[in-house]
Amino acid sequence: MAAYGKARGACGLRQVHFHDLRHFSLTMAAATGASTKELMRRGGHSSPVAALRYQHATADGDKAIANALGELVSGDVIPISDAKKKSASRP
């Protein structure tokens, strides 16, 4: 652990614990689209609950989800308010 302490000091990251690297690593692995089973294997977990404990939402992940949803609805989209008006005017 002496080498880790030396390295984090050189990087100015005294507040980062060794176990934080595990959280970071598994969060980044999840961001690649790894399945829960793959994350369990990588983290040495025997249950999905344990693997999920090490995953954290990221702003980049949220942005990727928003972009993917935008792609799904790109094209001719009728605003919900217009769709409601059309269905209300039908006999």
The verdict on residue 57 lying in a domain is yes
50 found inside a domain:
yes
Provide the whole-model pTM: 0.58
Q: State the pLDDT at residue 87.
A: 62
Residue 80 lies in a domain: no
CA distance readout (Å), 65 to 31, 74, 87? 11, 14, 30
Structural domain total, the chain: 1
Quote the pLDDT of residue 46: 94
Range of the domain at 21: 17-74
**Is residue 47 situated within a structural domain?**
yes
Q: Match 């949220």 to its residue by tokens.
A: 62
pLDDT of residue 77: 64
The amino acid present at 75, given as its one-letter code, is G
Least confident piece of the model among 17-21, 22-26, 80-84: 80-84
Domain assignment present for residue 90? The answer is no
Per-residue pLDDT tens over the stretch 30-89: 888 889 999 999 999 999 998 888 777 778 878 888 888 888 877 666 677 765 666 666
